Structure 1
């Protein structure tokens, strides 16, 4: 292998160094509060892309027999722990295990109230889907109170709307008795979090339904290109700062219960973000990482599949299964995790 580069290769290596630096910064950002630099925190969204670009650089230098492949190769290998949060390949699930219960999380996008997708009778179709999958507990984000949505097999529920006049909020439906419930009111936002203490046979769990601050981004590259980039970066950065505050309110509430916790979230962020990292530090595991398969897509950003919805659970619980559903009745896809009693 050689180290000498021609003029064209020197230009390529300059770009290699730039994207290598971007990847290194993205690795560090999960440990840096967005309040420190809202602008820098946005780089974290590009971590998978930066990893892929550096992988391509490494392949190029190997094919040209240049030792410069070491830069990107070492950077990509050093981020191996992040790969497991993007793509996992677990053994066959234990979904047939006896004495289990399932928890589903689903951002239903107001049941297509404003006809975002070309689909009719969305509330009825989602009701039918949930009845067929039959989870013990369902957490909804972007929930809308509509007569067409019925879950007769779920006698216990907790619906929370941000204002008395609004029918938009967040909800938990359960087949099992709810003995306590509460809300975590995020200030100056339409987003919110609630919880319900549920008795499943002889066990009691605290289930959270959480909707962290929205980024207010239309998932279309053509639309984003027309936006004022400075305003877009400022808006996303401010949302990350709010998410940090909301995650702190959520973890503070963790201290109010001795029951094992299951957190169903629309994070509006990546699983390797600062907020996800902070939540997992509170004795939680990510059900997708433990029992999922593949990319774990929960949201389509144009051509790019993202995992911005998650089910975290207390480590004292045994996660036996995780499912991603390819159900296009919202801009999000439902997810479900199974736990052993």
Structure 2
């Protein structure tokens, strides 16, 4: 009994220490500076306080160092919102979609968008909410190879907006292969037959991001390109001729698709067309789109393009350069110098993947260059 009385104070002390440790762990405090974050708190990668934004745009070194610590805490939250059940008003509110035209000028000049996607769901949602306005119309082509969960999440988002729809026909897209071009043709058919009116169509991929507002875009189109197409390109250079004279077949090893050359040579282009080479990105008038879908020359050119390398870099610019009384639209942007005109969009990559941005071209892939925080001042100067 005396031993029990002797050990009782020790038991009480141990119990008190245990309770204190339990409460401390249950309610952690960040008062200790060593336990707190070592980087500045940010709400969302890319949405900084005004001072940091200004410093980034001016290219100040300190701001670039701070931006290195930028993480995207809301990427997983965006995905989670699309996967959990809920009504569309909640999705629209939480993801901050604009629900009315921002000006009368914009409301009377609706645009169409074709967006081809296959990965990075959160990045696609950020792109969509950046370009979304209720007067515009959006055709989303989801790669047929995309995971089922990805397709379901995109569908749940699209179902909440009358003016957004998924392409009625899906393709298994291969980079530089024909099916990317076919995917955009599929969307064009859907857009032309939709109930929505639109004046021009712009194509994007899920990793693009706008550097101009909707008002900037329509004012730029109206200023010089109101009834013209923006399809930068030049007459096909000799160094590029093998891509259209030699066939390229699509292969599917282990579920992946890629285009590969073989030794068979193609017939000459139909209708004695002069082949041009340019950008796969474009801004096209509705009249031109209707021409592409109905004209015999355009259809024959599409068939001829089925097994050439990178047909999307030849197809649009070649058709846009047709001359004669049946010319589909006034010729727009062509020629190398005109191809350098101010772009409406640039490839965008999350800062945590490319924190230093494009400096010397070392991060470019397949002629596409991702931009990070270091490129902010360069992009704003375009």
Question: If the TM-score is normalised by the length of the shorter chain, which range does it land in?
Answer: under 0.3
TM-score (normalised: structure 1): 0.23
Higher strand residue share: 1
Higher helix residue share: 2
TM-score (normalised: structure 2): 0.21
Greater RCO structure (CA 8 Å; 6+ sep): 1
> Rg bigger for which structure?
2
